Homo-oligomer: A and B are copies of this chain.
């Protein structure tokens, strides 16, 4: 199964990519076979910021944080699909840097970022989807988003 077929079998639909028309940075930058994904945030279907906003451990439960991280991963796939045409061009995930907007004292950060890691492994498989990561707690994230994740990937030639 291709990643797109796997997404369909899971009944998952990608959001519109985040709109960055007037922002001074890119969602993705490709250097040869290496792709850098900017810090992505949870997106609604139309590419706007998903709700709820707030800190995990306060406004959001750990389960809502997990769902937010999964939403971040789906938004990354939307960016990749827009840029590459086809998710099958991903040869391997290398790393995630997973950032949780953490309420004071909330440190079950891996349980939140697992929402992204498990989605990637499910869609790309154990070999292509394998990645290193950190799952850490930030003091603040842009506009109060609960999770933000960066990634680096290897592309096929």
Residues of A within 8 A of B (CB): 23-29, 31, 36-39, 92, 94-97, 99-100, 102, 104-110, 114, 117-118, 121, 130-144, 148, 150, 152, 154
Q: Can you give 16 A-B contacts (C-beta < 8 A)?
A: A24-B117, A25-B96, A25-B130, A25-B131, A29-B95, A38-B132, A38-B134, A39-B132, A97-B134, A97-B150, A107-B140, A107-B141, A108-B142, A108-B143, A134-B150, A136-B141
Contact yes or no, A130 B26, CB < 8 A: yes
Question: Please, which residues of chain B bring their CB within 8 A of the CB of A121?
Answer: 24
Q: Which one, B26, B100, B118, B137, contacts A24 given CB within 8 A?
A: B118
- Chain B residues in 8 Å Cβ range of A139: 102, 104, 137-139
Residue from the list B36, B94, B97, B133 in contact with A31, Cβ < 8 A = B94
CB <8 Å contact, B138 and A137: yes
Alpha-carbon separation in the docked complex, A124 to B51 (Å): 37
| Closest chain B residue, CB of each to CB of A57 | B140
Contact A148 B132 (CB under 8 A): no
CB distance from A19 to the nearest CB of B (A): 13
Check if B133 sits within 8 Å of A25, measured CB to CB: yes
Check B144 against A107 for contact (C-beta < 8 Å): yes
